[in-house]
């Protein structure tokens, strides 16, 4: 707790970087950020908690996947602005199914080898919800080759083109409902969901933020919710 007090919170603007390292293999697993609340929870529970800048909330590592990190030791660096956290990793650290988040080499030659490695990744479809999994895939392709990725083409193209596609898909979804065509409703609904996720990705907004907003409305009537909206 003494080191917790010594952290230079002003220097890190309230979010201290936390390097997560496997206590047994010494492999660097990931980098996360902790605010005071996340660090307090980590110290109290002995499991890593972080503040997600995209979800804008505290989250426990493994809260949905079950792949938790049991804390064995925490060290504060000499500048008091970075944490080194030694953990016992359960399962894998990366949402892609890799043991560590650091598996993408910079050199062109190594990228070929990396493509083969990624093909061996664990199937995370049974661990993460399909919406979150799809969002992660869209994020991963954000800076990819627009000639090979439709997501990259939408995200790197003109914003109006991307917004037009969202509007088109919403219109097609409405027409499918009007026609009472169950198969088309499902198909167009899936298309609309995908394009909405692309729009969220363009603004670096996690779909978790939408879930949080929906959860906050439970127990509140629709008319009341509208009345409470800010102008």
121 with 205, same domain: the answer is: no
Look up the CATH number of the domain holding residue 89.
3.10.20.810
> What SS3 class is residue 156?
helix
Which of 134, 132, 131, 155 has its CA nearest to residue 143? Answer: 155
Would you say residue 82 lies in a domain? yes
87 with 101, same domain: the answer is: yes
Q: What is the pLDDT of residues 122-170, one digit of tens each?
A: 555 555 678 888 998 899 889 889 999 999 999 999 999 999 999 999 9
Q: Are 166 and 158 in contact (CB under 8 A)?
A: no
Distance CA 130, CA 94 (A): 16
114 with 138, same domain: the answer is: no
pTM reported for the whole predicted model: 0.60
Give every CB contact of residue 167 below 8 A, 6+ residues apart in sequence: none
Would you say residue 90 lies in a domain? yes
Number of domains observed in the structure of the chain? 2
Backbone phi and psi for residue 28, each to the nearest 5 degrees, phi listed first: -75, 120
Q: What is the pLDDT of residue 55?
A: 82
Under DSSP, the state recorded for 130 is H
53 with 118, same domain: the answer is: yes
Domain that holds residue 160: 129-226
Which of 102, 100, 90, 83 has its CA nearest to residue 60? Answer: 90
39 with 72, same domain: the answer is: yes
């Amino acid at each position: 707790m003494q080191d917790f007090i010594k952290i230079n919170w002003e220097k890190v603007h309230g979010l201290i970087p936390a390097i997560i390292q496997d206590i047994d293999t010494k492999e660097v697993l990931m980098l996360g950020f902790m605010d005071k609340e996340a660090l307090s929870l980590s110290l109290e529970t002995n499991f890593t908690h972080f503040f997600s800048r995209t979800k804008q909330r505290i989250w426990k590592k493994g809260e949905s996947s079950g792949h938790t990190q049991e804390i064995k030791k925490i060290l504060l660096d000499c500048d008091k602005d970075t944490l080194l956290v030694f953990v016992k990793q359960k399962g894998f650290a990366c949402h892609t199914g890799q043991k560590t988040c650091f598996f993408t080499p910079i050199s062109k030659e190594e990228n070929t080898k990396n493509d083969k490695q990624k093909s061996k990744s664990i199937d995370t479809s049974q661990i993460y919800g399909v919406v979150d999994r799809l969002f992660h895939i869209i994020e991963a392709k954000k800076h990819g080759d627009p000639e090979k990725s439709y997501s990259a083409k939408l995200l790197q193209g003109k914003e109006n083109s991307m917004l037009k596609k969202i509007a088109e898909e919403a219109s097609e979804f409405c027409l499918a409902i009007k026609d009472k065509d169950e198969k088309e409703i499902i198909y167009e609904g899936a298309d609309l969901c995908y394009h909405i996720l692309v729009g969220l990705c363009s603004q670096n907004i996690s779909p978790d933020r939408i879930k949080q907003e929906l959860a906050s409305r439970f127990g509140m009537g629709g008319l009341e919710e509208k009345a409470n909206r800010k102008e």
